[in-house]
Every structure is written in C-alpha cells, then in structure tokens.
Amino acid sequence: MEAEKQRVFYADVLRVLAAFAVVVLHVAGDGWKNTAVGSMDWHIYNLYGSLVRWAVPIFVMLSGMFLLDPGKELDTGKIYRKYILRVLIAIVVWGLFYRCTDIAISRYIRHKDISRNAAIVELLEIPFGTAWFHLWYLYMIVGLYVMTPIYRVFTRTASQKECRYLLAVFALFGICLPLLKKGLICIHPRLELNLTVAETVNYTGYFFAGYCFSKASLSKRQKGIVYAVGILSFFIMAVGTAFLSIRGGENTEVLYENLSPVTMLETVMVFILVKSLCGRTSTGRPSATNTTRLISNISSCTFGIYLLHAFVLRVYIMAGVTKLFFSPWLSVPLVSLLIFSVSLSITYLLRKIPVCRWFM
C-alpha cells in the first residue's frame, strides 16, 4: 500500500490480486456461513474461500518487503508521520463511518429503537479495536509499524542464513505449534500443550517473510517445490475444512486462519509465483507499458478498496444481489468483480480530493 517513484511491478500485481482476493473471501464467506453445512453450495463456497485465504498475509508481506529493506531511507519519525498517522486516521474515519452506518440502518431501515447508550457503546468499539469486522487489519498493522525501527536493526545486519532461521522459528512456533495445541485438545482435554513462544504468535513472521523472499533467489527446483506444496495446501484446506465441519456439524475455521500452516504455504507460493512471473518489470519508467501503468494506478487504490468494499458488500447483501440467480460457481466471481469495480471507482474518485488520500 505504499507509493514508490520507482514502483515494483510484481508488488503492484500482488496488491491488486490481494485486494480482489479479499473481496472474494468475504463474498464466499457470507455464503459459506449462511448455507447448510455439507450442501453442494456450501462446498463451492468452501472451495472459493480456500483459494483466497492468502489475501491478508500477502498485504503484510508487502509491507515488510518495503519497510524492512535496509536500502530504503526510513527513520522512526517518518514511520510515525507517513505510515502510522495515516492508519490511525483511517481507523477513526472508517470506524465512525461503519458504526454510524450501522446505527442508521438499524434505526431507519430495520426500524429498531437505538438508545443513546447503545449508540455510545457502538462508537466506543472504535478505540477498543473492533471498529468493524475487516478493520482489525489496521490495528494489527499499526503494531507492526511501531516495531519496524527495531526490526530494521536486524535486517541491516542479518545474513540470508539468519533470515532463514528467523522464518523457520516463526513457522514452527508461531504457526505449526498453535495448530498442534488445538489438535491435541480436540483429541482429549488433558492433552493440553503448554509450550509457547509468545513472541512468535503474530503476523511478524509474514512481515519478515516479505522482506526475505523479496531478496531471495530460488532455483527452478526450489520454486517447483514451493508451487507443489502450495497447491497441495489449497486441497488440504478445502478438504480438511469440509471434513472437520461436516464431522462437527458446524462451520470449522481452524484451517482458514491466517496463521495456519496451509495458509502460510499458500501465501508463500502466491508471492513467489507472482514475483517469478512479473519480477522483471517496473513501473514509473518511460518504457512502462499501458498495462503496467494501469496496474500501478489500481494498486494505489487498493487501500481504499479494502476499506470500502465491506460497505458495498453490505449494500449488495441487503439488496439480495450477492445470491443472484446463478450457482455460486458463477455468482461468487461475478459479484466479487462487481464489488471490486464499484469500490475501485469510488476510491479513485475520492482520491482526487487531496484530504481523502490521508485515509484511503
């Protein structure tokens, strides 16, 4: 979500893909949660959801790719002025927008009485970290930005071997171990595993992974392994989620989590694949093609698309548009494309107003 005079084309492509994947994720997720477990439509929604779980982790990797690069001039003051301040403003503006919209819909469309105390409680959700369901990302990324000056000390001096070690630690203790703990508890309550490394149970691993994989040069064999494991992860997530949900009789999201092993493997595969396909092209040069400029322009709107799409989705759900008259095979991509296009158009127009660039 960062503007660069000399833009990296594969990063722009990843931003656009991730923004669209977030829309697909929420469109499919709405259908998945409101469809009978085990039905044909439910399986289709599950498949789409499994295909795009990498969306948010990719955004985190892209932030780490740029902010942890020692070659980028970035002091603590600039991090707070340019990045943290912008996100904090977005939290306030969009938190108020979504909460006030919710109050208005409840009062004037659903005709529910909203007391003054209830309205105050709604607005108090903003500073307590639950401004709206998808805005959790803003609170998380602020935490990573705050730690960035310290993380950059590591990347300035770390070797490739040390970077690989760091990623292995996060993968083992931050992603695999928590899943193992949940699995053991499901087998028997007494099999509680108390071993934890709290410092690794967050999105810092993806943050560092973005920097490390942006600098890494993988052989064809290594890329082949990454692609094979990533594709396998898609199937494990879809089949595993279906099995656990049908067995338990309710939707089970343990494999859907951003910090699950299969999501991590999907994310790395998507990052490496797009980098390999698009990594030799840059935008911002005289030789840039119309396609690269278009991708660059859409990329600059992805923050706004992320923030706005939930509102557009809500309007469509209330209007019954999300279901359409097609099978989910068609309705999910079509509705997602429609929401993405509307969100992009509104964002593009709003960004023409200078003040709007501060929060989208």
Q: Is 352 exposed, middle or buried (0-12, 13-18, 19+ CB in 10 A)?
A: exposed
> Would you state the pLDDT for residue 116?
76
> Would you state the pLDDT for residue 1?
43
**Per DSSP, what are the bridge partners of residue 7?**
283
Distance CA 36, CA 42 (A): 6
pTM to 2 decimals?
A: 0.92
Distance CA 163, CA 169 (A): 10
Looking at this protein, which amino acid is placed at residue 288? A
DSSP reduced 3-state for 283: strand
Looking at this protein, which amino acid is placed at residue 144? L
Q: Which residues contact 18 (CB under 8 A, 6 or more apart)?
A: 54, 55, 56, 58, 59, 62, 302
The angle, 0 to 180 degrees and rounded to 10, between the axes of the packed helices 85-104 and 116-124 is 150
Distance CA 310, CA 268 (A): 26
| Percent helix / strand / coil, the chain, rounded to 5 | 70, 0, 25
Looking at this protein, which amino acid is placed at residue 95? G
Backbone φ and ψ for 283, nearest 5 degrees, come out as -100, 170
- Going by C-alpha positions, the residue among 59, 42, 24 that lies closest to residue 250 is 42
Distance CA 46, CA 258 (A): 15
> Would you state the pLDDT for residue 110?
77
Q: Which residue's structure tokens are 């992974």?
A: 209
DSSP reduced 3-state for 282: strand
> Would you state the pLDDT for residue 327?
87
Per-residue pLDDT of the chain (360 residues; tens, 9 = 90+): 444 457 899 999 999 999 999 999 999 999 999 999 999 999 999 999 999 999 999 999 999 999 999 999 999 999 999 999 999 999 999 999 998 898 888 887 877 777 777 777 777 778 776 778 899 999 999 999 999 999 999 999 999 899 999 999 999 888 888 888 777 777 766 666 666 666 667 899 999 999 999 999 999 999 999 999 999 999 999 999 999 999 999 999 999 999 999 999 999 999 999 999 997 655 555 456 888 899 999 999 999 999 999 999 999 888 877 666 678 999 999 999 999 999 999 999 999 999 999 998
In which region does residue 108 sit, left (phi positive, over 0), alpha (psi from -120 to 50) or beta (all else)? alpha
For residues 90, 96, 99, 102, the Cα torsion angle rounded to the nearest 10 degrees is -100
Q: Is 119 exposed, middle or buried (0-12, 13-18, 19+ CB in 10 A)?
A: middle
Long-range CB pairs of 310-319, under 8 A, 24+ apart, other chains included: 310/26, 310/98, 310/132, 310/133, 310/134, 311/97, 311/98, 311/101, 312/339, 312/342, 312/343, 312/346, 313/23, 313/26, 313/27, 313/30, 313/339, 317/30, 318/105, 318/109
